[in-house]
Amino acid sequence: MKSRARRIESVLDAVGNTPMVRIPVPSAPDVTVYAKLESANPGGSVKDRAARCMILDALADGRLGRGKTLIDSTSGNTGVAYSMFGAALGIPVELVMPENVSRARKDIAKAFGTKIIFSDPLEGSDGAIRDVRRIVLANKDKYFYPDQYANPSNPKAHYEGTAVEILRDVGDVLTHFVAGVGTSGTMMGTARRLHEHTRKITCVAVQPDSSMHGLEGLKHMESSLVPQIYDPKVPDETMFIRTEDGWDMADALALRGLHVGHSSGANIFASIKVAERLAAEGKPGCIVCIVCDRGDRYFAPMKWDKSYVW
């Protein structure tokens, strides 16, 4: 097994091999729940995997060459990852994001020298997608547009990375995998590999319960531009989680030493529901869910936090 403590040449090599931490569920004593801490990636989120793979694949086949600028729309974590790797590889990066993205995310991306273009906050992430398409269309030669919503390298990163690590680290006892869907790359790639496993592993997608929600990074598919890489047939089940349940779970976990973001709160909430369902059926189980990022990424003053002092 690869150690997490290792000597590496580039920040790109620090992606992956994230640890899993046990989440005790007293109401389901025969079910073990592990949270895979994707927040331990160098950019602080699960998006490092997709961004790294999209950049390296494009460099390998020439779509991203010298002089090209990388541009994409992102609600933040992918933007942080693009910015970090772009800075490491000397690739200029421009990001289109809705103006209401948390300030921490904008500031982190800027720290790596990234140029940020704001889109209308009322139009949400779909508005940012439409804006970036317009910009790229007008400047085809200038940009490499990875389009994380349609790029097969996004799920591939999870097919070759996340899923392999989970099988390696928990072994044949795994019964369930739980992850939220935004671009859906994590679910599509990981679930496809887990479904190839000889024994059935149930993959549960997590979506917000409403189009108007506060689970940043997740998509309510029915009311959104559906990502090209999303195939609704891949997850075995979808759970629809209320924003408040995700937020409250994130707050409760912090008091137990695990400070996760809101979408991760929703993933862990859903995992505990699955564990309790198994317990009610008298079945044992082993559930792995994804912690997408840390809670401190959502700390920064939002527009209404007028009293916030640094």
Partner 1 sequence: MATKVRIPASLRTLTGGKDEVTAAGDTVGALIEDLEKNHPGIKDRLVDEKGVRRFVNLYVGEEDVRFLEGLGTPLKAGDEISIVPAIAGG
Binding site for partner 1 (CB under 8 A): 75-76, 97-98, 100-102, 121-129, 149, 182-183, 208, 210-220, 223-224, 243-244, 247, 262, 302-304, 306
Closer residue to partner 1 in complex, CB, 99/276:
99
Minimal distance in Å, beta carbon 164 to partner 1? 27
Side-chain-side CA neighbours of 168 within 13 Å: the count stands at 14
Minimal distance in Å, beta carbon 114 to partner 1? 16
Minimal distance in Å, beta carbon 229 to partner 1? 13
Closer residue to partner 1 in complex, CB, 197/303:
303
Minimal distance in Å, beta carbon 115 to partner 1? 18
Closer residue to partner 1 in complex, CB, 193/297:
297
Minimal distance in Å, beta carbon 110 to partner 1? 17
Three-state secondary structure string covering the chain: CCCCCCCCCCHHHHCCCCCEEEECCCCCCCEEEEEEEHHHCCCCECHHHHHHHHHHHHHHHCCCCCCCEEEEECCCHHHHHHHHHHHHHCCCEEEEEECCCCHHHHHHHHHCCCEEEEECHHHHHHHHHHHHHHHHHHCCCCEECCCCCCCCHHHHHHHHHHHHHHHHHHHHHCCEEEEECCCCHHHHHHHHHHHCCCCCCEEEEEEECCCCCCCCCCCCHHHCCCCCCCCCCCCCEEEEECHHHHHHHHHHHHCCCCCECHHHHHHHHHHHHHHHHHHHCCCCEEEEEEECEEHHHHCCCCCCCCCCCC
Minimal distance in Å, beta carbon 127 to partner 1? 7
Burial-class residue 256 by CB neighbours within 10 Å (0-12, 13-18, 19+).
exposed
Closer residue to partner 1 in complex, CB, 121/152:
121
Minimal distance in Å, beta carbon 95 to partner 1? 12
Minimal distance in Å, beta carbon 285 to partner 1? 31
The residue type at 202: T
Between the alpha carbon of residue 272 and those of residues 15, 147, 173, the distances in Å are 27, 33, 17
Closer residue to partner 1 in complex, CB, 182/285:
182
Closer residue to partner 1 in complex, CB, 101/270:
101
Closer residue to partner 1 in complex, CB, 44/261:
261
Closer residue to partner 1 in complex, CB, 133/277:
133
